[in-house]
Amino acid sequence: MNRIMSDKKIIAMYTLPALLMILVLIYIPIVLTGYYGLMDWDGIGAMTFIGLENYQNLIADSLFWQSAWHSLLLAVFSVLSLVIYLTISVVLSSNIKGANLFRKVYLIPMLLSSVAIAQLWIRIYHPSNGVMNRFLLSIGIDNPPLWLSDTNLVLFAIFIPILWQYAGFYIIIYYAALRNIPGELMEAARIDGATPFQIAYKIKLPLIAGVIKVTIVLAVIGSLKYFDLIYVMTDGGPNGASEVMASYMYKLAFRSNDFGYGSAVGFFLLVLIMIVTYFIRKLTASKDDEVQY
Amino acid sequence: MAQSTTAEAERELLPAEGKLIDKFFKSILYVILAIIAVVQILPLVWLVLFSLKDNQEVFNLPPFALPQSPNWDNYLRVWTDGNIGLYFFNSIIVTGASVILTILLASLVTFAITRMQWKLNKFVLALFMIGLMIPVHSTLIPLFSFYLNIGLMNTHAAIILTYTAFNMPLTIMILLGFYYTIPRELEEAAIVDGCSIHRMFFQIILPLTAPVVATTAIINMIYNWNEFVFVNTFISSDSLKTLTVGIQNFIGQYATDWGAIGATLVISVLPLIIAFVFLSNRIVEGITAGSVKG
């Protein structure tokens, strides 16, 4: 039995195809991104080694810092939005009839591609024919905002569809975690006279702390690499007001053919995500850390 | 005597009063939950409505008014005028091929990691799990030049390989929990009966994992059907584009025809909405397993 189940040839045969794929298509590219970042390269011609020049330029590049700042803002928005999702999930999980139906309905936007969502919300935000401004006009707001062409508003306008898109995703995660809490705990607290609010705050939340931590990491990482929706909705505009790190990288490489500099941005993004993940996990580390991702 | 009855009545009154407040409170919660549900659905209702209108109706009627007579020809027009049918077909090929490849390879790996005995299994598992964190954008430039050099640029193969690699970690993660629960006796019995490992895997284990395979298949399908960046970067030929990227260009030509744009978008999201109607439990399960379980 043991001999058959530890047959090296078969183990290799079963693992190598997939392993090879992630090595060639994920891990080697990661290393190469760092390497290309040291080059002056237009993607087709010869590469010239320029050392850390790209990274030095990066530090002095105000457009880059602007896009990094926007990514950070999206991350903060996203983490804050988790509070809303969590509140909804606590309500949903408290033996409400039809909870199952509600959480499924909330999930529907998550099924759509970001491109479709972007195209739909471009029209929702349309200054004169969009639902948003026609609604605002109908309730007597005479000068409704221009949303996507307002440099001060655009990032907020982009965040609304993000909030809409991911609601169901996080609600489902929280709901599942909350439903896993043994009922006796809440029963005992209720007998001791705890209010629903106290039960939620003092029993439910601490018990799902691990899951909350996972969602914080997911929300931050997701925001740092946010791309599709912004690329389609505003292409980073107007005037760079909604540019984020991923869209900046994409433009550098595939529009300006500056593959070396683009790689430097890509590598920065990777390192940033690794560091952020590490720190969030460290900061929120708990002893009973059974949840992984 | 009289005193005790009052006390009893009071005791009975309290829970009843509590229930009344509870009921009131619950109805408020219901209203809030229902409002959120409406907000989640309303943009899509509006989308379907304007996909059936002509521009005049879109701009002059109230947003949620029904069209006087539904313009089904919007759908016919975008389907026959553009390449929507072709994009649709490409999406099916690319999505289908990568889902099958991902699940087959991931099942083999998960089997080897959880059921077979070897020293490096934890290390190999870690390699796959770290892959979960890696942002696709950080791999885009090297992948682009790699596919360019080996002549896979502008092929479905490039897309299928990329999807398979990037979906592998999550798929293994979802499969893992299920594989751990399979009883060892099953394998022992099979081996005693003289079954080879390949037969054991394909005829016993793989069929046994059908429910979790279905879940991962659906999660993979949603990701692949909606993927944008890889196709946008690796495919320039119009005849090879998938729906997500294809409609993006297509909509450019119809920039001002809202009905046509609406119809295009509805067509692109319809397959997943239909899948959701039938398989929502599996989707919910997959999301829960994919993000929370270890």
What average pLDDT does this structure show over B91-120?
96
- Please give the model's pTM, rounded to 2 decimal places: 0.90
B 17-76 near A (Cβ less than 8 A): 26, 29-30, 32-33, 36-37, 39-41, 43-44, 46-47, 50, 58-59, 62-63
ipTM: 0.91
For residue B294, give the DSSP letter: -
pLDDT at B207 over 90: yes
CB contact under 8 A, B112 and A15: yes
What's the mean pLDDT when you consider all of chain B?
88
Q: Which chain A residue has the Cα nearest residue B120?
A: A11
Which range marks the domain in which residue A129 is found? 17-283
B207 touches chain A (CB under 8 A): no
Instruction: Flag if B284 and A107 touch (Cβ within 8 Å).
Output: yes
Q: Does residue A6 sit within a domain?
A: no
CA distance A90 to A126: 35
Q: B153 CB near a chain A CB, below 8 Å?
A: no
Residue among B132, B233, B273 minimizing CB distance to A254:
B233
CA distances from B124 to A23, A74, B290 (A): 11, 34, 19
Single-letter amino acid, residue A271: V
Q: Do A33 and B139 touch (CB under 8 A)?
A: yes
B132: CB partners within 8 A, 6+ apart: A293, B169, B170, B173
Q: Which CATH superfamily hosts domain B82-292?
A: MetI-like (1.10.3720.10)
Given a contact cutoff of 8 angstroms between Cβ atoms, the answer to whether A293 and A217 are in contact is: yes
B133/A221 CB distance under 8 A: yes
pLDDT at A37: 94
Domain boundaries, chain B: 18-70, 82-292
Cα distance between residue B207 and residue B205, in whole Å: 6
A242 close to A70: Cβ distance less than 8 angstroms:
yes
DSSP β-bridge partners for residue A39: A49
Asked if A250 and B268 come within 8 Å (Cβ–Cβ), the reply is: no
Residue-level pLDDT at B2 = 43
> What residues of chain B lie within 8 A of the CB of A107, using their CB?
276, 280, 283-284, 287
Q: Is residue A240 part of a domain?
A: yes
Closest alpha carbon within chain B to A223: B135
CB A253 within 8 A of CB A262: yes
User: Do A10 and B116 make contact, defined as CB atoms within 8 angstroms?
Assistant: yes
Name the band, by pLDDT with cuts 50, 70 and 90, for residue B5. very low
User: Residues 6 or more apart from B269 whose CB is under 8 A from it?
Assistant: A111, A112, A113, A116
Is A47 among the domain residues? yes
Name, in order, each residue with C-beta under 8 angstroms of B7's C-beta and a sequence gap of 6 or more. Answer: none
A115/B248 Cβ within 8 A: yes
Q: How many beta-carbon contacts under 8 Å exist across A and B?
A: 266
Task: List the structure tokens of B243.
Answer: 């729906």
The domain total for chain A is 1
pLDDT band at residue B16, thresholds of 50, 70 and 90?
A: low
Give the pLDDT of residue B157: 97
SS3 content of chain A, % helix, strand, coil (to 5): 70, 0, 25
The reported pLDDT for the residue numbered A290 is 45
Q: What is the dihedral of CA B252, B230, A71, A86, to 10 degrees?
A: 100
β-sheet bridge partners, residue A48: A40
pLDDT of residue B294: 34
Distance separating alpha carbons of residues A202 and A194, to the nearest angstrom: 10
Q: What is the pLDDT of residue A1?
A: 60
Instruction: Kindly list the residues from chain B whose CB atom is less than 8 angstroms away from the CB atom of residue A6.
Output: 116-118
pLDDT of residue B3: 45
The 10 Å Cβ neighbour count of residue A49 is 11
Give me the half-sphere count of Cα atoms (radius 13 Å) on the Cβ side of residue B88. Answer: 16
Helix axis angle, B210-226 to B84-115, nearest 10°: 140
Indicate which CATH number applies to the domain containing A214: 1.10.3720.10
Percent of chain B with pLDDT over 90: 60
Residue B15 has pLDDT above 60, yes or no: no
Does residue A139 sit within a domain?
A: yes
Contacting residues for A69 by C-beta, under 8 A, at least 6 apart: none
| Residues of chain A contacting B161 with CB distance shorter than 8 Å | 21, 25
In chain B, which residue's Cα lies nearest the Cα of A177? B292
Q: Do B268 and A32 touch (CB under 8 A)?
A: no
The Cα-based distances of B246 to A88, B12, B135, B236, B256 in angstroms read 36, 67, 24, 10, 17
How far is it, in rounded angstroms, from Cα A61 to Cα A199? 50
- Cβ contact A226:A246 at 8 Å: yes
pLDDT digits (tens, 9 = 90+) for B236-261: 999 999 999 998 888 877 778 899 99
Interface mutation vs chain A, best among B111, B138, B287, most A CBs within 10 Å: B138
Residue B161 touches chain A, beta carbons under 8 Å? yes
Distance between CA A267 and CA A100 in Å, rounded? 42
Rounded to whole angstroms, the Cα distance separating A287 from B86 reads 53
Asked if residues A266 and A249 have their Cβ atoms less than 8 Å apart, the reply is yes
Per-residue pLDDT of chain A (293 residues; tens, 9 = 90+): 677 788 889 999 999 999 999 999 999 999 999 999 999 998 888 889 998 999 999 999 999 999 999 999 999 999 999 999 999 999 998 878 888 899 899 999 999 999 999 999 999 999 988 999 999 998 988 889 999 999 999 999 999 999 999 999 999 999 999 988 888 888 888 888 888 788 888 888 888 988 998 899 999 999 999 999 999 999 998 999 999 999 999 999 999 999 999 999 999 999 999 999 888 878 776 544 444 43
Q: Is B140 close to A119, i.e. CB distance below 8 A?
A: no
Average pLDDT over every residue of B11-18:
50
A139-148, B3-12, B62-71: least confident range: B3-12
Query: B70 falls in which pLDDT band (50, 70, 90)?
Result: confident
Is A8 domain-assigned? no
Confidence of residue B292 (pLDDT cuts 50, 70, 90): low
Closest listed residue to residue A260, CA positions, set A79, A45, A98: A45
Is B167 an 8 Å CB contact of chain A? no
Over residues B110-169, the pLDDT tens digits come to 999 999 999 999 999 999 999 988 999 999 999 999 999 999 999 999 999 999 999 999
Distance from CA of A58 to the nearest CA of B (A): 16
Cβ proximity of A269 and A261 under 8 Å: no
**Contact in structure between B91 and B242 (CB atoms under 8 Å):** yes
Q: Which of A14, A96, A215 sits opposite B29 (nearest CB)?
A: A96
- CA nearest B275 in A: which residue? A111
